[in-house]
């Protein structure tokens, strides 16, 4: 629903995110890039992927990048590249896209859940140490909504216990923590290029980044059947390849990312100014970090009523995420840590994402603001 045009009150909905608007903003460049790939006739792991990997690695401030089929697969292959699998435990959060936990189980490992900080919605570093056992092999902090997790204490805990840190950066392209881009702190950083992301493709896509040459090479083998030589597998691998069309589109968009993130931050500031004092909790920024506002997430005790009211006015506010992973049918009752996630459960009852994308027009922004004010002032 976040990717599609919908109808509301007889008029076009103001979408929560709008990948078509981003395509139109760069249409000529994107069309030319797609035509270039089609004319060349090489569609899998060719020059476009190689060039984008180099460009994205440079942008992230790391030495290596490996393009893969999705953000979920980036996490899965990162775990596998680190040698994590059956019998191992991986600490992460429940207030996240289910992909984070799904990737851990796809690798054969066991997710162990830790609660979030209420102010920033990210992994509460003060609760990590208590979750560590002799089977713990990694921590996956999630940089949620565009907000970096508090990496410094997480990295210190990981060093003390010889654990890998794999950053889930699926919602935080370009975000910085203490001056460096997210993805450059852990052993591996993982990104999604789902169309609604700050850096979005026109289909699925993902990438993992690292300064460790050995991990990068292992990830390259794992993404294509373990082939060191074509058709000869040196280890068990998968088929998870970023294709040439997606890489070409991403190469067009990457040079615009910082400017578009700045536009998101500007929209967020306007929301902040207009909605302060209206009885809702506005997004808080972590000190010494740059929030890139993949989503602008408010909290309200009347969240469901507010969402329904906005929908009736043609405004597509969405919930990210309505059910914590540990309470979803596929996972309920079987994940360790599920009995102590009160902040995650409260967030799921209160969060609401207001429309946020660089092409959001000023008139649309003001329409969202006026309707939130009208509801909260009722």
165, 139 Cβ separation under 8 angstroms: yes
Rounded to a whole number, what is the largest CA-CA distance in the chain? 67
pLDDT over 60 (residue 32): yes
What is the arithmetic mean of pLDDT over 122-131?
98
Q: Which of 241, 220, 224, 140 is nearest to 188 (CA)?
A: 140
Under DSSP, the state recorded for 335 is S
What is the arithmetic mean of pLDDT over 298-321?
98
Q: Please provide residue 299's backbone torsions phi and psi, each rounded to the nearest 5 degrees.
A: -125, 140
187, 166 Cβ separation under 8 angstroms: yes
pLDDT digits (tens, 9 = 90+) for 41-61: 999 999 999 999 999 999 999
pLDDT digits (tens, 9 = 90+) for 341-354: 999 999 999 999 99
Mapped onto helix, strand or coil, the DSSP state of residue 361 is coil
Q: Which whole-number Å values give the CA distances from 43 to 47, 67, 201, 224, in the listed order?
A: 9, 14, 15, 15
Close Cβ partners of 123 (under 8 Å, ≥ 6 residues apart): 92, 93, 114, 116, 117, 139, 141, 142, 149, 150, 154
Rounded to whole angstroms, the Cα distance separating 173 from 76 reads: 19
pTM of the model: 0.96
pLDDT band (50, 70, 90) for residue 12:
confident
The correct CATH number of 7-17+256-377 out of 3.20.20.150, 3.90.190.20, 3.90.1150.10, 3.30.465.10 is: 3.90.1150.10
210, 189 Cβ separation under 8 angstroms: yes
What is the arithmetic mean of pLDDT over 195-201?
98
What is the domain partition of the chain in residue ranges? 7-17+256-377, 25-114+121-255
- How many CB atoms within 10 Å of residue 12? 11
Rounded to whole angstroms, the Cα distance separating 166 from 168 reads: 6
pLDDT band (50, 70, 90) for residue 338:
confident
pLDDT over 90 (residue 91): yes
pLDDT digits (tens, 9 = 90+) for 133-192: 999 999 999 999 999 999 999 999 999 999 999 999 999 999 999 999 999 999 999 999
Mapped onto helix, strand or coil, the DSSP state of residue 144 is helix
pLDDT digits (tens, 9 = 90+) for 255-303: 999 999 999 999 999 999 999 999 999 999 999 999 999 999 999 999 9
Residue where the block lists tokens 């408010």: 298
Strand locations in the chain, DSSP E? 7-8, 11-12, 64-68, 89-93, 110-114, 136-139, 164-168, 176-177, 180-181, 188-192, 206-210, 227-229, 232-233, 289-290, 296-299, 351-354
Ramachandran category for residue 194: left, alpha or beta (phi over 0 → left; psi -120 to 50 → alpha):
beta
Q: What is the CATH number of domain 25-114+121-255?
A: 3.40.640.10
pLDDT band (50, 70, 90) for residue 1:
very low
pLDDT over 50 (residue 9): no
pLDDT over 90 (residue 7): no
């Amino acid at each position: 629903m976040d990717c599609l045009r919908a109808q509301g009150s007889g008029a076009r909905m103001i979408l929560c995110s709008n990948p078509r608007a981003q395509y139109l903003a760069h249409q000529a460049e994107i069309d030319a890039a797609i035509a270039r790939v089609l004319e060349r006739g090489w569609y899998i792991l060719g020059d476009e992927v190689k060039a984008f990997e180099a460009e994205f690695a440079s942008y992230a401030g790391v030495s290596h990048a490996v393009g893969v089929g999705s953000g979920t697969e980036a996490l899965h292959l990162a775990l596998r590249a680190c040698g994590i699998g059956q019998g191992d435990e991986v600490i992460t959060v429940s207030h996240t896209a289910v992909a984070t936990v799904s990737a851990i189980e796809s690798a054969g490992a066991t997710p162990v859940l830790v609660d979030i900080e209420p102010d920033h919605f990210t992994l509460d570093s003060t609760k990590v140490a208590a979750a560590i056992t002799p089977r713990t092999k990694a921590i996956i902090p999630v940089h949620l909504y565009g907000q970096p997790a508090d990496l410094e204490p997480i990295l210190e805990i990981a060093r003390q216990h010889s654990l890998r840190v794999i950053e889930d950066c699926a919602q935080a392209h370009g975000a910085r923590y203490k001056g460096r881009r997210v993805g450059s702190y852990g052993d591996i950083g993982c990104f999604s290029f789902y169309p609604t992301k700050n850096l979005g493709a026109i289909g699925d896509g993902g990438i993992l980044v690292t300064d460790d040459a050995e991990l990068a090479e292992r990830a390259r083998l794992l993404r294509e059947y373990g082939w060191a030589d074509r058709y000869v597998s040196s280890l068990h691998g998968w088929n998870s390849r970023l294709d040439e069309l997606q890489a070409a589109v991403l190469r067009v968009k990457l040079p615009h990312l910082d400017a578009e993130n700045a536009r998101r931050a500007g929209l967020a500031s306007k929301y902040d100014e207009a909605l302060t004092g209206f009885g809702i909790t506005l997004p808080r920024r972590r000190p010494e970090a740059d929030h890139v506002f993949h989503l602008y997430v408010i909290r309200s005790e009347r969240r469901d009523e507010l969402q329904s009211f906005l929908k009736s006015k043609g405004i597509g506010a969405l919930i990210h995420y309505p059910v914590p992973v540990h309470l979803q049918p596929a996972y309920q009752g079987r994940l360790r840590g599920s009995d102590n996630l009160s902040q995650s459960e409260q967030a799921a009852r209160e969060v609401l994402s207001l429309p946020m994308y660089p092409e959001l027009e000023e008139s649309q922004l003001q329409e969202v603001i006026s309707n939130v004010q009208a509801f909260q002032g009722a």
